[in-house]
A and B are shown apart, each in its own frame.
Chain A
Amino acid sequence: MSALIAQFINLLAALLLMLSFAMLAQRRILTLIHLFTLQGITLVLSTTVVGYVTSQPHLYYSALLTLLLKVLLIPALLYRVIDRLRVRREVETLINIPTIMLLGILLVMLAFYLAQPLSQMSSSVARGTLGIALACVLLSFMTMITRSKALPQVIAFLSMENGLFFAATSATYGMPMVVELGIALDVLVGILILGVFLFHIREQFDSLDMSNLEQLRDE
């Protein structure tokens, strides 16, 4: 029974990793938002399962919070933003997707190497998953670096937060509730501020291409 559930959690972790990879190579903004929503759903499932196995009721609340925030509210906000900014159909030019993917694989190996000694010591059911969580964080980081447009950067930022959240539920039994609420509040306020920013940037620069934002530097 518990072996089966551990396998199930590992499956969800693998799914999360694949979604991170998909985001790394995805050029269409709309699809990025879909992928982000899928990540959210995976998180909700894994949190619920860990909560069920370890009979930690507060994980159910945290799953519910994730569902509301990352599956419903944030994607809805993102859809509104791309409609209002009229970038729904926008496609980004990404150079060298194969190189990026190769670098991504290296990052995953690095993450597993770093997490190797630690996963043995995890007291939680899902031991091998800490490496995956770290890999997701690093992959999102890389997604952010390789993008030049504002909105994909924001989505990658949110996806990094997903990876961190997954680390919290997989390595431990989830953070205390008050901390989780605080983090959720920060994420929500952060995305609202970023949303407002996007409109200001568009107004000032007539585009959301971040290469315009390179005026400030030391000569």
Chain B
Amino acid sequence: MNDLWHPLLPVLLLPLLGSLVLALMGQRDKAPEVNALFCLLTFLGACDLTRQVIANGPSSAWDHSFFLDSLNVFLVSLTAFVALTTALFSRAYMRVERDHGRMTPNRLRLYHSMYQLFSFTMLVALTTNNMGILWVSMEAATLTTVLLVSLYRTPASLEAAWKYFILCGVGIAQALFGTVLLYMAAEKIIPPDGGALLWTQLNAVKGALDPDIMTLAFAFLFIGYGTKVGLVPLHNWLPDAHAEGPTPVSAVLSGLLLNVALYALLRCKILTDGALHSSLASQLLMGFGLLSVVTAAFFLSRQKDVKRLFAYSSIEHMGLITFAFGMGGAVANFAGLLHMTVHSLIKSSIFFAVGHATQRAGTQVMEDIRGLLQISPTLGWGLILGSFAILGMPPFGVFASEFLIVTTAMRDHAWATPFLLLALGVAFAAIFGRIQPMVFGSTTLPTLRHPPALIPVFVHLAAGLCLGLYIPPALEQWYQQSARLLGG
């Protein structure tokens, strides 16, 4: 496999190229279309890659620097898909922002270029085999999104971006220390130049890694990547960053970056489980996952800003997924993966709808947004259906995965079930109680000149609905393979 050509090549090269092209192209009218085009090409590349991995099984590329198995290729295609639909949404969204004077040509150029670079860093983080490069690309993803969050240069967005930078920077520095310790443990077993940081190598010898070092290493990796997942008590950056950045950025932060951070954590968990022969990693994941679910659910009812509301809902759902992976076992892992997929799809579709609604209202304060159904039925229905879906109403996919998670918890960890059910109930009351008056009732909002891009909203909702009713056998097999890989 030393050939230069590999189906992974276009998936990584296209976003990088896109970021260069868009940086050079600058403020042309066609920049949003070019951005979407690059995302489309990347998505097609990702589809081709997925097809090959399904057909031929796991593979590695370029001297084992990158590798692909069912776990990461599924996230690669999800990432490419959501990046594409978000790019389509942001065409309409950014046109309005430009008319409002919030986006200058220079900011648009920075936005498009950083959007592609952000996709690139996430795809590298997902496909790299090297734990060091994984850290480097996670940090790079932080840097690009810091620029995206501070795009409007308002005091609030600067504050959010600064907080995001410092908290995630410090957090992820702990992950680097964890990576150093991991390397230290590996070096004793794997000979020099044997690729002691390559995940496949580490996975092969994980039983022989020193348990003392691995315990400490996992603690640091958990703090580091856990900060990026947004686990309580390291979640403070998340609501601010989601609320103050442009809405397409909130959509990709929630839908994609949190997943990628969790993916990094899962890779570390697989190694730690193998080395420790104990359930330390699982217990950490379960404990902090549950804490995040409960804390976020109670914070939901105190929110006034609609984007903060859904940011807290993201913390809740990431906590739930972390809890599921902490429980481990075939069913819980399956549910975790399914929940990751549907949460990405539904949450980004909600942010699309919220983005248009806040643009219309000129505010993010929920009390000032009323009667969305009256001004645009599709927008109103998009938001209300999205909220139902994220709250775990059947027949949407979230219901299926939450049902599996709760039933597994009842069977294996009965003590956790009351907390989970309580949190889900509180979240339902909080979100539904706030979204309902926003959608129904009479309105005072003006109409917009540009038509909203609502197709991505309904595409995502349809996909989420489909996953709740019927999971195609290919996808199911794929989830099961990944669930086996995660073990536990």
Interface set of A (CB-CB < 8 Å, partner B) = 114, 117-118, 121-123, 134, 137, 141, 144, 150, 153, 157, 160-161, 164, 167-168, 171-173, 175-176, 178-179, 182-183, 185-186, 189-190, 193-194, 197, 200-201, 204-205, 210, 213-216, 218-219
Contacts and interface: CB of A to CB of B under 8 A. Distances in A.
Interface in B277-330: 299, 302-304, 308
Contact of B166 (A144, A172, A178, A183): A144
Main secondary structure of the interface of A (DSSP, over half): helix
B130 A178 contact: yes
Contact of A186 (B139, B158, B244, B308): B139
A164 B180 contact: yes
Query: Interface residue tally of chain B, by bracket?
Result: 35 or more
Contacts of A194: 165
30 contacts: A114-B216, A118-B181, A121-B184, A121-B188, A123-B188, A153-B166, A157-B169, A167-B177, A168-B180, A171-B180, A172-B184, A173-B187, A175-B132, A176-B130, A178-B130, A179-B130, A179-B133, A179-B135, A179-B136, A183-B135, A183-B139, A186-B139, A190-B143, A190-B169, A193-B146, A197-B162, A201-B158, A216-B240, A218-B239, A218-B299
B165 A213 contact: no
Nearest to A219: B302
B427 to A, nearest CB: 16
Interface of B: 130, 132-133, 135-137, 139-140, 143, 146-147, 150, 153-156, 158-163, 165-166, 169-170, 173, 176-177, 179-181, 183-184, 187-188, 192, 197, 210, 212-213, 216, 239-240, 243-244, 299, 302-304, 308
A218 B470 CA distance: 40
Contact of B244 (A117, A141, A216): A216
A201 B135 CA distance: 28
A168 B180 CA distance: 6
Given A213-B159, A219-B304, A175 B183 contact: yes
Contacts of B150: 197, 200
A172 B183 contact: yes
Contact of A197 (B137, B158, B192): B158
Nearest to B185: A121
Nearest to A179: B132
A134 B177 contact: yes
A124 to B, nearest CB: 8
A182 B132 contact: yes
